[in-house]
Amino acid sequence: MGYMERNAEKRIDPTLLVEGAKSIISVLVYYNPGNPSVSTVPPKISRYALSADYHVVVKDMLFKLLDLLRNEYGSVSGRAFVDSAPVLERAWAEKAGLGWIGKNGLLINQKLGSYVFIGELIVNLEIEPSNEVAPNRCGICTKCIESCPTGAIVAPKVVDARKCISYLTIEKKSSLTEEEKSMLNGWCFGCDICQEVCPWNSKRNEAPNEKLKIIPKIANLSPEKLTSMSESDFASTFGETSILRTGFLKFIRNINQSE
């Protein structure tokens, strides 16, 4: 993914994103809705996309946190980030003690697992840093590597995006090759396989935020409804979600090729 190579300086120097930045506040928001059929029966949709768009929900929570800081400390300059800017989200979250980077490249929290959204506030307020860095608790487990059907996890913490089902169904702009079509493994948007097999996700926690619970009309989608969806159905069904960003044509393309 070429965009990952751009703005390298901003990724490692937060002061280029927020003038006078002194602290990064990292947060995790849990979202796991369990095992609805829309995520377990093809054509499958990744669990993170079954609720309101996390970019909007988590950023709104961060803005409220920023307001609380201003109420407490007066004038505070800062910006909120949720997977939408050159920010090393997982690295900052790991450094803050919120978890460790698993062999699938995802941040894993000991209590919440990996079904979490990461957000940041970069502020010009000096805050005492976290001192406890979470130890890596993956141990000798390699379930995520072994379970990836396309072999996208080529080494611990190293993912070849060209083989990743999430990349193929969401990020890839050009048409899929015949080989790529055969790699979708029943998924039409995203993929949760490496999270489904992770032992740290074996205990489900309830999502604490109502806005990140699965949208009922999406939970009730049958394969038949998905495969026969019109463009207006797509807009009305997924208008609040991050799926809308991928567009109707690509979504239907994935459905047709994931069967």
Written as six digits, the tokens of 40 are 């377990």
Judge contact between 30 and 203, C-beta under 8 A.
Answer: no
- CA gyration radius, the chain: 19
Judge contact between 208 and 188, C-beta under 8 A.
Answer: no
Our answer to whether residue 83 is catalytic in this structure is yes
Please tell me the pTM assigned to this model.
0.92
Residues 6+ apart with CB under 8 A from 50: 33, 36, 38, 39, 214, 215, 218, 219, 241
pLDDT band at 64 (very low <50, low <70, confident <90, very high): very high
* pLDDT one-digit tens code per residue, 120-177: 999 999 999 887 888 999 999 999 999 999 999 999 999 999 999 999 999 998 889 9
The one catalytic residue among 60, 67, 83, 233 = 83
What is the pLDDT averaged over residues 192-212?
A: 88
Written as six digits, the tokens of 241 are 């979600």
pLDDT of residue 214: 94
Amino acid at residue number 195: Q
Written as six digits, the tokens of 108 are 């894993």
